[in-house]
Structure 1
Amino acid sequence: MINYEENIEVKGARVHNLKNIDVTIPREKLVVITGLSGSGKSSLAFDTIYAEGQRRYIETFSAYARQFLGGLERPDVDKIDGLSPVIAIEQKTTSKSPRSTVGTITEVYDFLRLLFARAADAYSYVTGEKMVSYSDEQIKELIKTDYADKRINVLAPIIKSRKGHYRELFEQIGKQGFVKVRVDGEIKDIVKGMKVDRYKTHDIEIVIDRLKVTDSEDADKRLTESINTAMYSGNDVLMVLEEGKTDPRYFSRDLMCPTSGVSYPTPEPNTFSFNSPKGMCPNCSGLGHVYEVNENKIFPNKKISIKAGGIAPLGEYKKSWAFKQIETIAQRYNFELTDTIAKIPEEAMDILLNGGKESFELDSKTLGVKRTYTIDYEGISNFIKHQFNESGSTSIRRWAKEYMDKIVCPVCSGSRLRTESLNFRISDRNIAELAQMDIAELAEFFDGLNQKLDGNQQIIAEEIIKEIRTRIRFLLDVGLDYLSLNRGSKSLSGGEAQRIRLATQIGSQLVGVLYILDEPSIGLHQRDNNRLIRSLEALRDIGNSVIVVEHDRDMIERADHVIDIGPKAGRHGGEIISEGSPQDLKDHHTLTADYITGDKEIPVPKKRRKGNGKNIVLSGCTGNNLKNVTVQFPLGKMIGVTGVSGSGKSTLINETLYPIMNAHYFNGVKKPMPYKKITGLQHIDKVIDINQSPIGRTPRSNPATYTGVFSEIRSLFTKTLEAAIRGYKPGRFSFNVKGGRCETCQGGGLKVIEMNFLPDVYVECETCNGKRFNRETLEIRYKGKSIADVLEMTVDEAVDFFENIPKIYRKLKTIKDVGLGYISLGQQSTTLSGGEAQRIKLATELSKRDTGNTFYILDEPTTGLHFEDIRVLMEVLERLVDKGNTVLIIEHNMDVIKMMDHIIDIGYEGGRGGGMVVAKGTPEELIKDQKSYTAEFLRLEIGQQKEKAKMVLARDK
């Protein structure tokens, strides 16, 4: 009998390709689910166990809340017993909001805001002096001490450096019973009709009282009343001016600069939030960047005329109000619309860009008399800005963006905060400077910080600092020491985002929870793997169950329990082929076990390619943490770019090299990170970046539409006899066009239920049952299959089905060759992992005719791949290089790195400790380097294979 306190029992799971499986998962253990890509790992972990946990959670909601979730179905499983509350930590769950950062996700920034609100010292942004604040009683004692037996004026400041005549203000002050004011340093009586020059800036203070400071009881009482009245009128600020002196002294209940009188409101956590009006920079609204119109994008070619389309946003000349205004400007500044842009006078260019109003007289050619003309032009630059900022239309904003550059906000220099917030400091650092530090540097800052604070601050800050240090430690433990708190969540890789959520969950200290993780080791160097595994073990040790879908050898060997699903992928998978301890897995001799024990392996190539002798040389790269790096990329080889996480690999390749090449070959507009020069681009004819971004953002996108094979399939269906009789065109077989699709779901196959408090829920369309097409369309058959049946086929099945149609067969065969034979043609792109999306892109490129002179860039193509899948993928990439192309791979996986012809290792550390080329050369040359972390693990990998080869040779003899 099963003990549900010790196990989770899954009975009869049939989700996707799972074949009615039963599985027992021990609780409070580290459990790894492994197997080939597409074998059913995610179907068991996420679509069965997590989906059932989520459904049970929703059942606890009120009937009112549940009515919006009527379509959330139970996963196809007989029963699941022993299930705890479930938290899924997936790769796609971080916010893409530009306001979301590492600091906000992990809550470290929230604690920093609290720390600065309670324990920071404020400094004046005018003089740099430390700000002071007083209670009314303190102000009175200071005045009595510093002005004893002296005559003083108590003033209430009401106007500070502002223009105006202030007639009404003086009248109002007089009605309140005050008789004198100090205007621009001079004390005057208030008289009827009193005003000042409206075009000059003025400082105005009410003279609340004029008194002599003595120890008498009456003088004391009078001073107290004067302070209260001045504070009320001066908005918590007063000034004391000694008679005969010209410089007053400021006192405030708020923080105030004693010299300049600049005051700050009492700090609160929102004062340091770039998402609150109290803290955000007013110029960029807390985003750290602004969009600025680029004149060169408005006038891209100054050798052509306005009439020929020289003003890009307006296009070629046509009869419109805008061109009528431009003709008037041309008359005023004496140029023709047929003149080249370069010949237009500077003043006219200024009006064309920035607008202006002007009336002028010119002789009328037809009337023979002078005629008045008026220019009233908004300016192209202002019009673009207005459309970008005010338009509610996404397409119009996108149009405006084409003529703008994203630049660092000139007011806050990218810090996102207003000036006042940046002038609060702890240990001589403001909050933005702390947010810019990498996590490792931040940890150093907080070590011993409490001792640097004064007594009162120490007591206030002690608990807050403890919370910050705990959360920083968790981030260090999962290998994210190179990130900074102000790093945007949009720029995080799937693995980084997942490890941040993992660190946050460890920090929450929940107990009795079932955590399910999807390949947390993605993007992590072998060096940091141990720290990640220790973090998962820590989560387990405090009383949680941890299920990890993973291919990593170290993770599998350190697990308490391993479930291997297979034997193959897709419809040939979905069975439990091994469950038990890591040793039990090895004894079962599954495909996974054979790679772990070394019975199967990806062999080290016997010789390395020499290349074609040509190079691309990129010099002087200084983006992010790169330290003036110069790199040589030998062409005609397979190049590996390696190094610990955060060392600068992506900055060098994705942010510097690729944008340069994309701009050179395809006029790409993304601005590369700073570099000095690049040579050798003439040696190749195109660059292709195969990254892990989704192939589509909605369920309408799928592998068939992305690769273009669906267009060919639709054309094939129109050639059937029945379709020809009915006059059906290719659009009839598209689920994106009215006519052939199901109109209930508009061809989506699913209906979206939008949730305000949970992610959107997709439910199957009740009219077409998810088939996407209407009955008439589904009646058309090719070889007995409808268009919906074809979309449900796996790639493996479709390859056989369409083997006699060369155009379709070639594209499908390339998808199969990259190891994706198990996915269905119509699988929604939103359900594909990053690795699968990347391989579909690779297949799309492979199906095109290559030139033998192409530069391919792949960023961690092994994401989500089993050892066997990596072998298949590498065979495909090897074929590409054998044809003369260059393949550059950013990678951590040793099975891939050992196959490179040339390795560029970046390091030594991540973040500020990285950004240098540590070593370069063939794997055999690299392993001689004693300082490279990659070399250390590569040495082990190649060494083990050599030892094994010797043993096999000895055994055969």
Structure 2
Amino acid sequence: MPVTSPDIRVHDAHLRNLRHVSVDMPHGKLVAVTGVSGSGKSSLAFGTIHGEAQRRYLESVAPFARRLIAGAVDPRVGRIDGLPPTVALEQSRGGGGARSTVGTFSTVSNSVRLLFSRAGTYPEELRGRVGRLDSDHFSPNTAAGMCPTCQGTGTVHAPTEESMVPDPSLSIDEGAVAAWPGAWLGKNFHDILVTLGYRTDVPWSTLPREERDWILFTTDRPVVTVHPVRGAEQIQRTYEGTWRSVSTYLRETLASTSSESTRRRVLSFMEESVCPSCAGRRLTPDALSVTWRGMSIDELNGRPLAEVAELMGVAGGTAEAAEPSETSEAERLLLEQVVPTVKAAVELGVGHLSLDRPASTLSAGELQRLRLASQLHSGLFGVVYVLDEPSAGLHPSERVAVRDLMDRFLAAGNSVVLVEHDMSLVAGADWVVDVGPGAGENGGEILWSGPVDGLSGQDTPTGRALAAPPPVLKGGAVAVRPAASSLPVRTTERTLDVDTHLGLGQFTAVTGVSGSGKSTLVSTALPEILAEEGVRTVRITQQPIGRTTRSCLATYTGLFDAVRKLFAGTPEARRRGWSVSRFSYNVAAGRCPTCNGEGAIEVELVFLPGSYTTCPDCHGARYNDETLEVTWHGLTVAGVLDLTVTDALEVFAGEPSVLAALQALDAVGLSYLRLGQGAPELSGGEAQRIKLATELQRSRRARRGSRRGAETVYLLDEPTTGLHPSDVGLLVTELNRLVDAGDAVVVVEHDVRVVAQADRVIDLGPGAGADGGRVIADGTPAAVAESGTATGTALVTAVARGRESTETTT
């Protein structure tokens, strides 16, 4: 009989920056994979372990079906022994499309729609006319279910004179009809009006009412011969032009465009109102007439998950007690599917959310817990759950629920591989695999694999973090920076009810449990308030910097524009008549024709997932041979992209236009990255810091004073997400430099070590959703630690835990 390995044994892993490493991990245990951002943690856990499990699964799938399965990665590993099936829960900053909701994101909506379809109470008239509705009829995202008037959005958009002509004091020549498109089409509409004899040189408000209504709303489409007025050097040519009113142009463009930017522009010239057909309920009258336990589906979807769990629990008991029937059996089976996920979501602290809540309005912590809830009662046995920072976006008080969740996975006979930066979760692991010592080319080695106690105090970034001394709370032994001036902050945005002030020239941390309104305050309300006060604001969000290899470190930061100018300014480039565009790998003249400037080509495997290999002609350089004949200081443009930030600092020491971006990258700990490193190769922590470095250098270049006394206010939403404690230290040092220079920094933050260093803490709560949004503590970190709030308790706990760790190490 074959002997099953008691461990997961990885042999010769060499994906990305992994250095042909081998490592063992025990089955049935919580294994934490640690290391600085970019060290190779995710490459080991997700790319190698989960990637190999995917590859093996694909081998069991019929070849013709493999092409339907996307996302597989070549794990680049010699072999893995003892590997069970894996389930991966990776980080995601988005909550799906524009119509994605809590219900669709958690997949609960599928079962709820089936519940109404199979177990709902139908009006006699509907039952006699159509019988039973399919589940699609209960979705506003399908043709069968959506209200035909508003296409399932609940709102309608209609152009009005005020929306199309926002400034009636202007003439048409001066741009009164703001809704007209630019370029030729807008000029065409203008010229047709002139040909038809309308005055375009007088204020819009002076035109007769019937003329204004005809221009804006007529359904007539006269065809006229237009004699356009062109410049002296332009071709003078008449043409047949067809008139469309402004409202007709807007409606037709909205219905036909596939461009999101065009759609947004068109909608900006239309007024939004509640759909008159469905009254904002998004569904057809037939779907809304079906009830379950006395509620229509939109009423149930509007209830908080905590209420839904209670209602479904009671309903489930009733169904079991009732006389067996097809309907009651369908209800029982469906409730068995949906109730566990809903209850798990409540247990994980997101019971305040409703199923119809747009996913785009959720915090990172809420999204993370919805993902976890969908897996909690999956009933799987003997699998490896590979989790990507499940603590991300969660308040320290909420991370207890995450640990309980992992314990449930383990108790059900599974294993957990956890990629994590939160040292409190790492300290509770059974086994730790520490990857490093650095990032990028300086990482990829296994520094430690064993019990967590053996790592604490070791001379590695994670070992030092585990044994770090307790944080020092500002406002106690360490003085805070006084505010240069104060700005009133009053808002009732979404669930907020805040009346406070912002100290300019200070480092402010906004805290509270996930869903308490932190992101709404910092990312939505504050930018509007600061703009009204004339204060320069820089927002640094969690959006990715790009999804293709054409977006790289050099292009995103803007330093490549300056580099290409240097190459275009060389004597050889001038002799050949080349401009800066010649040195772009996105332009046909300069790029390699084989790979079109990507440096790699896709290998089509028909029934297998595609793979990429280095371009055989340019060997990854991206450019054609002729372009690479021009050099600057002995380097080709491809050679520059191959430099690390550290190397580039020396090469461009005398070029201020390039040096500023390099210094900003170095300051936030990204000196190991190569300038041409593509966006898909970057970890979440690296992408976050690239955005920060880019904004820092841009802001310094554009810095100008404001009447409030702070040059710039930086707004950051959880900037430490994806960062190792050692990387967090670099980040906070840079943020403090900004404040010391007179700027203000406001961060949404859960990391208590960052909160401890703030000059001021604004703590929101006490709960989430409708139970949050209020300031429950406000003051220095030392003062908030005495407030008794969840954040205050977390600060006290961090100080106590840090002392225990130091004493144990000693």
1:758 deviates by 9.9
Match of 1:151 in 2: none
Q: Percent identity?
A: 38
- AA partner of residue 681 (structure 2): T
- AA partner of residue 887 (structure 1): V
Match of 1:185 in 2: none
- AA partner of residue 77 (structure 1): V
Paired with 2:602 and 2:95, the residues of 1 have a C-alpha distance of 20
Q: Which moved more, 1:421-430 or 1:852-861?
A: 421-430
Q: Which of 501, 518, 521 matches 1:652?
A: 521
SS in 1 for 2:795: helix
Match of 1:154 in 2: none
Match of 1:856 in 2: 714
Match of 2:540 in 1: 690
Gaps spanning 5+ residues in structure 1: where?
Answer: 123-130, 133-251, 257-262, 360-374, 665-680
Paired with 1:70 and 1:477, the residues of 2 have a C-alpha distance of 33
Q: Is the 8 Å Cα contact of residues 835 and 863 (structure 1) preserved in structure 2? A: yes
1:716 deviates by 2.5
Q: Which of 455, 470, 486 matches 1:614?
A: 486
Q: Superposed, which structure 2 residues align to 1:668-747 within 5 Å? A: 681-682=533-534, 684=535, 686-720=536-570, 722-724=572-574, 726-747=576-597
Paired with 2:753 and 2:71, the residues of 1 have a C-alpha distance of 44
SS in 2 for 1:654: helix
1:491 deviates by 4.7
Q: Superposed, which structure 2 residues align to 1:2-401 within 5 Å? A: 5-64=5-64, 74-92=74-92, 96-122=96-122, 131-132=123-124, 254-255=126-127, 265-293=131-159, 295-314=161-180, 322-323=189-190, 326-327=193-194, 336-357=199-220, 378-391=244-257, 397=263, 399-401=265-267
SS in 2 for 1:59: helix
Q: Evaluate the alpha carbon distance shift between residue 821 and residue 483 of structure 1 in structure 2; reply closer, same or farther with a 3 A threshold.
A: farther
Q: Which of 496, 499, 503 matches 1:630?
A: 499
SS in 2 for 1:121: coil
Q: Which of 939, 945, 952 matches 2:796?
A: 939
Q: Evaluate the alpha carbon distance shift between residue 353 and residue 755 of structure 1 in structure 2; reply closer, same or farther with a 3 A threshold.
A: farther
The structure, 1 or 2, with the larger RCO (C-alpha pairs under 8 Å, 6+ apart) is 2
Q: Is the 8 Å Cα contact of residues 856 and 887 (structure 1) preserved in structure 2? A: yes
1:691 deviates by 0.5
1:67 deviates by 8.3
Paired with 2:549 and 2:363, the residues of 1 have a C-alpha distance of 22
Pairs aligned (count): 775
Paired with 2:220 and 2:347, the residues of 1 have a C-alpha distance of 63
Q: Which of 435, 459, 475 matches 2:345?
A: 475
1:704 deviates by 0.9
Q: Superposed, which structure 2 residues align to 1:490-505 within 5 Å? A: 490-492=360-362, 496-505=366-375
Q: Is the 8 Å Cα contact of residues 34 and 420 (structure 2) preserved in structure 1? A: yes
Q: Evaluate the alpha carbon distance shift between residue 777 and residue 327 of structure 1 in structure 2; reply closer, same or farther with a 3 A threshold.
A: closer
SS in 2 for 1:551: coil
- AA partner of residue 700 (structure 1): R
SS in 1 for 2:377: helix
Paired with 2:72 and 2:335, the residues of 1 have a C-alpha distance of 43
Residue 843, structure 1, aligned to residue 693, structure 2 = yes
Q: Evaluate the alpha carbon distance shift between residue 439 and residue 274 of structure 1 in structure 2; reply closer, same or farther with a 3 A threshold.
A: same
1:699 deviates by 2.1
Q: Normalization by structure 1: what TM-score?
A: 0.74
Residue 748, structure 1, aligned to residue 595, structure 2 = no
SS in 1 for 2:16: coil
Match of 2:391 in 1: 521
1:463 deviates by 3.4
Q: Evaluate the alpha carbon distance shift between residue 482 and residue 558 of structure 1 in structure 2; reply closer, same or farther with a 3 A threshold.
A: farther
1:69 deviates by 10
Residue 588, structure 1, aligned to residue 438, structure 2 = no
Q: Is the 8 Å Cα contact of residues 641 and 674 (structure 2) preserved in structure 1? A: yes
Q: Is the 8 Å Cα contact of residues 741 and 772 (structure 1) preserved in structure 2? A: yes
Paired with 1:579 and 1:464, the residues of 2 have a C-alpha distance of 44
1:3 deviates by 7.0
1:612 deviates by 1.1
Q: Evaluate the alpha carbon distance shift between residue 640 and residue 49 of structure 1 in structure 2; reply closer, same or farther with a 3 A threshold.
A: same
1:648 deviates by 1.6
Paired with 1:603 and 1:795, the residues of 2 have a C-alpha distance of 35
Q: Evaluate the alpha carbon distance shift between residue 341 and residue 759 of structure 1 in structure 2; reply closer, same or farther with a 3 A threshold.
A: farther
- AA partner of residue 120 (structure 2): A
Q: Which of 327, 331, 334 matches 1:464?
A: 334
1:563 deviates by 0.8
- AA partner of residue 48 (structure 1): T
SS in 2 for 1:562: strand
Q: Is the 8 Å Cα contact of residues 764 and 774 (structure 2) preserved in structure 1? A: yes
Gaps spanning 5+ residues in structure 2: where?
Answer: 223-240, 705-709
Q: Is the 8 Å Cα contact of residues 792 and 826 (structure 1) preserved in structure 2? A: yes
- AA partner of residue 580 (structure 1): G
1:398 deviates by 5.5
Paired with 2:506 and 2:604, the residues of 1 have a C-alpha distance of 49
- AA partner of residue 654 (structure 1): S
1:741 deviates by 0.7
CA deviation digits over 1:245-287, x for unaligned, max 9?
xxxxxxx6x537xxxxxx6643342331223333222123224
1:88 deviates by 2.4
Paired with 1:397 and 1:875, the residues of 2 have a C-alpha distance of 42
SS in 2 for 1:425: coil
Match of 1:425 in 2: 291
Q: Is the 8 Å Cα contact of residues 89 and 498 (structure 1) preserved in structure 2? A: no
Q: Is the 8 Å Cα contact of residues 425 and 431 (structure 1) preserved in structure 2? A: yes
Paired with 2:114 and 2:374, the residues of 1 have a C-alpha distance of 18
Match of 2:229 in 1: none
Q: Which moved more, 1:749-758 or 1:512-521?
A: 749-758
SS in 2 for 1:735: coil
Match of 1:183 in 2: none
Q: Is the 8 Å Cα contact of residues 898 and 942 (structure 1) preserved in structure 2? A: no
Q: Is the 8 Å Cα contact of residues 563 and 579 (structure 1) preserved in structure 2? A: yes
Q: Is the 8 Å Cα contact of residues 795 and 816 (structure 1) preserved in structure 2? A: yes
Match of 1:245 in 2: none
- AA partner of residue 776 (structure 1): E
SS in 1 for 2:38: coil
Q: Which of 422, 432, 435 matches 1:565?
A: 435
SS in 2 for 1:555: helix
Larger Rg: 1
1:34 deviates by 0.6
1:77 deviates by 3.1
Q: Is the 8 Å Cα contact of residues 38 and 683 (structure 2) preserved in structure 1? A: no
SS in 2 for 1:692: coil
Q: Is the 8 Å Cα contact of residues 595 and 601 (structure 1) preserved in structure 2? A: no
Q: Is the 8 Å Cα contact of residues 649 and 659 (structure 2) preserved in structure 1? A: yes
1:800 deviates by 3.0
Paired with 1:747 and 1:700, the residues of 2 have a C-alpha distance of 8
Paired with 1:52 and 1:766, the residues of 2 have a C-alpha distance of 27
SS in 2 for 1:508: coil
1:346 deviates by 3.5
Paired with 2:221 and 2:105, the residues of 1 have a C-alpha distance of 53
Residue 876, structure 1, aligned to residue 745, structure 2 = no
Q: Normalization by structure 2: what TM-score?
A: 0.87
1:711 deviates by 1.2
Residue 769, structure 1, aligned to residue 619, structure 2 = yes
Pairwise CA RMSD? 3.5
